[in-house]
Structures are given as structure tokens and as C-alpha cells.
């Protein structure tokens, strides 16, 4: 089990300079997982069976916030674009990392995660660092399990760390070599580890030394390593380390002596060193401790920018996966790690380029469910009503995904909804127009079309609900940020309980449905607006044109022209978003 202290830790930034105090190596290590931001180190708690983006960061108010949201509002790199680095020396110290990054002018917002890593233990690199200490280095040992600290670094931070580690090679390891288990039980499939270029310290014929304090390792060298005898004569450890920090030639002599005398041996990780491109956390698969893999599920990946969405939120899978599960044009999507149970309807796209057993989900779908990339999703076949004739003659329906909120009192029991002005503009509708809402599928897999009038949500209604919202799904007005780790949220749709029951989402808070304009309503409105023009045109024809044949020809021409204008206006309004 991972051990995390529940005592608030104060990070000593003032005394973190190992150049001045090398005997303090590796520096102050974190007692618990946390987020380093500026001078603060806030406790971070990963959620069980969830990716790190869902981890909670404590606030001074005693509340917590989602790590995704904290990084977003701090305007720094998101979780999925960062890299997992196992730190076993001074890089595990928030104070040391803060100093390194500040010296290079690099942003210092870093998450540190408590972890256990099997397949290695920690020893000492067979060299002396510039400050005069003998640093830590990993040693390959398949039977060992070692506590460690994992840092989440963005690309700039990773490059800065590479520059400060000239004696190490950053190496990507997979779970087949070393199994990493983060606090919360997540087991990433790969991570980075810094391996010493000089090997590790080991007395000739013996196992590599284990990690010791600097006084202890120098005492061991004093008593057993002959080339160091003159260095230690009449000197204490701090004096020796100070002398080493000033004398590069002496450091190099010790480095060469370790190799000549047989005190330097391979760590066991040399064979895994590669020049592979850094793998981001968002591209790293994970398993979870004590959670078996579930058959028939898919690993969630982002959908591609080239996906032909045709006005709908989409899920992309390999054709063979679709055939094996009997998936056709539309699916209901459920996140296995999401607290929401109601499936979200989405259009299914078959793409041979999509990796098998993965599903490329549009970000809107991921946000609707509150799931992270690399988590698992379930897909079930559903049926949605489509009018192919209307698709061709008028326009393809354009759907917007919205978050259902319980109704404002002003619309209760009236079969109407309230929607934000921006969402209504995207749908091409006006306040009071009829819309079609699609919710969760029924037992037969059919998604019902629920028609209702939609009105613009008053600003005061949204402001009041925002002020009341907060907390998890048990709250009366839960927050998507608190309950799902989603920010910014989808547009809100206010519905009463009767409407939610028709959509089969009445038992679930913060569920998502999709909305489109009613083409029938829009068509009737367009005809109504042109009716007066047609009537006046007909009267003019009767008065001016005496020939019955010409009257019919002109009237037919006007009707066709009117239909063309109506079709053009509808397509422009309802498909202008694509």
C-alpha cells in the first residue's frame, strides 16, 4: 500500500540549494502527493480508478478542485500533454525542482504523485556531482518494490530537467520492465526514468550499494575505497564535499577511479535506453490495481480533426469492432469510470485507421460524460429517427450537446425548456421555436424524439443557478466541475421533471442530451412569412395577366422560386455551423 502522510507539510524553499549544502542531498522530499505552484505546495489526492486529470487539489477554504481545472485556470499545460517522470533523487524534491526551473525561467507548476515502482531499487551513481554529493541512481532488481515520487512535467520542464542531468539518460520504461503504481491505484503502461551514464556504485564482487545518506556513503568509501583514503585524511564529510564541489579535476579523478577499481557496475537499465520521442501522459494507457479488464469495452481516445461529423457528435471505431458488436449508425456511450449512467447518443463513424479496441470520442462527448482520455467506455447500438427526404430537401440536422439542469419555477409543467442564447444561435433557432430533444435510449434501444418549445434562458436565472451550484451528485444543484471534473461545462438546458422523464434521464443529475432545431417548425414558419408575398403575387397576376396559361406558368414559377428561397434559408440557418 502507498503511504501518504496526513500532516500538512511546509516546504522549506529557503534552504533548498544543494550547491551550498550538498550534504542535505536529496533535499526535502514530499510527505504526500501535491501540486507545486509558485511558492505553494497543495495536497493532491488522485481518485481511485480515475486518471490524474480527475485528481483533487485542496484549496485554502477546505474545499478541493479538479486538477484539470486548476491547470486550466493557471494557463499552464494540461495533464494529458505532460510526461510521467519517476524521480528517485533530488528531482523528487519540490523545492529543488522549483529552484531548477526558476533558474532557467521555466514555469514551475508541477504535480508530484506518491507511487510505488516494482522492478527497481535505488542506489548511488558512480560519479560525483558538481555540488560534491554522490547522487542517487536506479538499480534494476526485478524482485524489489520501491516507494518513489512521480512528477508530471510539460515539454519545456522536461527539456529543462534534461539539461540539468548531463550524467543521466532519460529512458522510457514499460510495465513489462517495471510496474509503476500511482496513488489511487493507476498503473501507467510506460514512464520515464533517468539512468546513470556511469553505472552505479558496487564494491567489487558485491551487489550495488543501496541508497544511503551522504555521510554514510562517504564513510563507506573512506573505509573500503582505497583511492579515497587521501581525500578523507583529517577531514569530515562536509569538508570533503566542499572540496569536491570546488575541484572539477578531483571529481573526474574519482569518476575514473570508480571505473578502474571495479566499483562501477552497470545498473541493469542500460539495455532499455532509447531515442524514442517523449510519450505524453494522454497517450499512455493505464490499468488499475484490483480492477480487471472488461471485455467489450473500448479505450477512449480523442477523435481526429478530419472526422466527418455531419452535424452530430461522433464516436470513431474500427470497422471490425463495429461488426463484432453489431454497431451500425449510432451508439449510446457510457463511461465505465464516469459517475453518470445514462448513455449519451452519438453518431458512429467506421474508420480502418482507428486502432482496434479503441474509440475516438469527440471532446463534447467526453465532457458530457466526464471521462478522461485512456479511460474505458462502453458502446451499445441505438436507433435514432432520421428523415432521409428532409435531409436531402432541407438540411441535415445539426445537434448540440447540452447539460440538463432542473427547471426554473417559471417553466415547470409547461413542456418548454430554457437554453442559453449562444446555444440557440448555434442551432439556428429563436426564442419560442420548437426543437427536438434526444435523451437516453429505451429498453429497445430506440431514442425518442421529444418536441418542445425552447426559450432563451434569462441571465438572472443562469446567474442564480451558478451561485447555488456546487458539490457532487448528492447536492441539490451539483457542479460539473466538482462532480465530473469538467470545466468549462456544456451549455445548460433547464427542463422540468416531466420532460426529463420523457427523455429517460429523470433519475440522474447532470446528464447530457442533444438538441436540434425542428425542421418542420422552421419550414412552416418560412412558408408563413412568404405567404403574404405569394398572395399579393397571385392577385397581381389575376389583374395584369389575362391568359390563364400564363397565370399558371407565372404562379408555378413563383412557387418554385419561393420553395428555393425557403430551402436556401433553412440550409443556411441550420447548417451554417458546419
Per-residue pLDDT in tens (0 to 9) along the chain, 578 residues? 344 444 567 887 777 888 889 999 999 999 999 999 988 999 999 999 899 999 999 987 778 999 999 999 999 999 999 999 999 999 999 999 999 999 999 999 999 999 999 999 999 999 999 999 999 999 999 999 999 999 999 999 999 999 999 999 999 999 999 999 999 999 999 999 999 999 999 999 899 999 999 999 998 998 888 877 777 776 788 999 999 999 999 999 999 999 999 999 999 999 988 767 778 999 999 988 766 666 678 999 999 888 888 889 999 999 999 999 889 899 999 998 899 989 999 999 999 999 999 999 999 999 999 999 999 999 999 999 887 776 666 678 889 999 999 988 777 878 899 999 989 988 888 999 999 999 999 989 999 889 999 999 999 988 999 998 988 899 999 999 999 999 999 999 999 999 999 999 988 899 999 999 888 887 777 676 666 666 666 666 666 766 777 767 777 776 676 666 666 666 666 664 44
DSSP calls for 76-122 = S--GGGSEEEEE-SGGG-HHHHHHHHHHTT----EEEEEEEEEEEEE
**What are the structural domain ranges in the chain?**
22-272, 293-384, 399-517, 520-575
Say what the pTM is: 0.85
Alpha carbon distance 484, 459 (integer Å) = 24
Please tell me the predicted confidence (pLDDT) of residue 58.
93
Alpha carbon distance 27, 131 (integer Å) = 13
Q: How far is CA 285 from CA 185, 299, 304, in A?
A: 14, 8, 18
Q: Which helix (H) or strand (E) holds 573?
A: helix 548-575
Q: Are 16 and 99 in contact (CB under 8 A)?
A: yes
Please tell me the predicted confidence (pLDDT) of residue 142.
94
Please tell me the predicted confidence (pLDDT) of residue 387.
77
Q: Are 557 and 550 in contact (CB under 8 A)?
A: no
- Straight-line distance from the first to the last Cα atom of the chain, in angstroms, rounded to the nearest whole number: 51
Burial (CB < 10 A; 0-12, 13-18, 19+), residue 48, is: middle
Q: Do domains 22-272 and 399-517 have the same CATH topology?
A: no
CATH topology of domain 293-384: Barwin-like endoglucanases (2.40.40)
Alpha carbon distance 77, 79 (integer Å) = 7
Closest CA to 29 of 94, 84, 108, 85: 94
Q: Where are the alpha helices (DSSP H) in 290-375?
A: 319-325, 363-369
Burial (CB < 10 A; 0-12, 13-18, 19+), residue 296, is: exposed
Alpha carbon distance 212, 381 (integer Å) = 59
Is domain 22-272 given the CATH code 3.10.490.10 in the classification?
Answer: yes
Closest CA to 334 of 377, 383, 381: 377
Is domain 399-517 given the CATH code 2.40.40.20 in the classification?
Answer: yes
3-state helix, strand, coil in the chain (%, to 5): 35, 25, 40
Under DSSP, the state recorded for 454 is E
Amino acid at each position: 500500500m502507498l503511504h501518504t502522510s496526513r500532516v500538512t507539510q511546509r516546504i522549506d524553499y529557503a534552504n533548498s540549494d544543494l550547491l551550498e549544502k550538498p550534504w542535505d542531498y536529496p533535499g526535502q522530499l514530499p510527505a504526500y502527493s501535491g501540486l507545486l505552484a509558485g511558492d505553494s505546495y497543495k495536497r493532491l489526492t488522485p481518485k481511485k480508478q480515475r486518471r490524474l486529470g480527475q485528481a483533487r487539489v485542496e484549496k485554502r477554504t477546505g474545499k478541493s478542485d479538479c486538477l484539470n481545472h486548476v491547470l486550466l485556470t493557471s494557463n499552464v499545460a494540461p495533464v494529458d500533454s505532460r510526461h510521467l517522470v519517476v524521480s528517485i533523487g533530488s528531482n523528487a524534491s519540490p523545492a529543488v525542482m522549483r529552484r531548477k526551473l526558476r533558474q532557467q525561467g521555466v514555469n514551475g507548476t508541477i504535480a508530484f504523485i506518491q507511487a510505488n515502482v516494482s522492478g527497481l531499487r535505488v542506489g548511488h551513481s558512480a560519479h560525483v556531482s558538481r555540488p560534491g554529493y554522490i547522487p542517487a541512481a536506479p538499480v534494476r532488481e526485478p524482485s524489489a518494490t520501491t516507494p518513489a515520487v512521480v512528477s508530471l512535467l510539460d515539454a519545456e520542464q522536461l527539456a529543462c530537467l534534461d539539461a540539468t542531468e548531463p550524467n543521466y539518460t532519460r529512458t522510457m520504461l514499460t510495465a513489462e520492465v517495471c510496474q509503476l503504481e500511482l496513488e489511487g491505484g493507476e498503473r501507467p503502461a510506460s514512464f520515464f526514468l533517468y539512468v546513470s551514464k556511469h553505472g552505479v556504485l558496487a564494491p567489487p564482487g558485491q551487489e550495488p550499494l543501496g541508497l544511503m545518506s551522504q555521510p554514510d556513503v562517504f564513510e563507506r568509501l573512506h573505509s573500503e575505497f582505497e583511492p579515497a583514503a587521501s581525500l578523507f585524511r583529517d577531514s569530515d564529510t562536509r569538508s570533503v564535499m566542499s572540496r569536491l564541489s570546488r575541484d572539477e579535476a578531483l571529481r573526474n579523478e574519482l569518476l575514473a577511479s570508480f571505473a578502474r577499481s571495479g566499483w562501477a557496475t552497470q545498473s541493469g537499465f542500460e539495455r532499455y535506453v532509447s531515442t524514442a520521442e517523449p510519450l505524453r501522459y494522454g497517450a499512455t494507457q493505464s490499468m488499475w490495481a484490483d480492477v480487471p479488464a472488461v471485455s467489450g469495452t473500448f479505450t477512449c481516445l480523442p477523435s481526429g480533426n478530419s472526422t466527418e461529423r455531419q452535424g452530430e457528435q461522433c464516436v470513431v471505431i474500427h470497422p471490425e469492432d463495429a461488426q463484432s458488436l453489431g454497431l451500425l449508425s449510432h451508439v449510446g456511450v457510457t463511461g465505465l469510470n464516469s459517475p453518470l449512467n445514462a448513455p449519451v447518443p452519438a453518431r458512429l463513424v467506421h474508420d480502418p485507421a482507428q486502432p482496434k479496441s479503441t474509440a475516438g470520442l469527440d471532446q463534447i462527448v467526453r465532457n458530457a460524460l466526464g471521462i478522461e482520455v485512456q479511460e474505458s467506455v462502453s458502446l451499445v447500438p441505438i436507433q435514432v429517427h432520421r428523415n432521409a427526404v428532409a435531409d436531402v430537401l432541407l438540411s441535415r440536422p445539426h445537434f448540440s450537446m447540452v447539460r440538463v439542469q432542473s427547471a426554473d419555477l417559471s417553466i415547470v409543467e409547461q413542456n418548454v425548456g430554457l437554453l442559453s442564447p449562444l446555444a440557440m444561435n448555434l442551432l439556428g433557432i429563436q426564442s419560442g421555436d420548437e426543437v427536438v430533444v434526444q435523451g437516453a435510449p429505451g429498453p429497445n434501444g430506440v431514442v425518442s424524439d421529444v418536441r418542445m418549445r425552447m426559450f432563451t434562458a434569462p441571465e438572472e436565472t443562469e446567474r442564480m443557478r451558478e451561485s447555488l451550484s456546487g458539490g457532487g451528485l448528492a447536492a441539490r444543484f451539483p457542479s460539473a466541475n466538482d462532480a465530473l471534473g469538467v470545466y468549462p461545462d456544456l451549455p445548460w438546458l433547464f427542463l422540468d421533471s416531466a420532460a426529463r422523464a420523457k427523455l429517460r434521464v429523470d433519475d440522474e443529475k447532470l446528464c447530457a442530451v442533444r438538441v436540434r432545431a425542428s425542421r418542420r417548425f422552421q419550414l412552416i414558419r418560412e412558408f408563413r412569412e412568404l405567404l403574404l408575398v405569394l398572395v399579393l403575387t397571385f392577385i397581381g397576376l389575376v389583374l395584369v395577366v389575362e391568359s390563364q396559361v400564363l397565370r399558371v406558368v407565372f404562379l408555378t414559377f413563383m412557387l418554385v422560386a419561393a420553395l428555393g428561397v425557403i430551402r436556401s434559408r433553412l440550409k443556411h440557418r441550420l447548417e451554417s455551423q458546419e
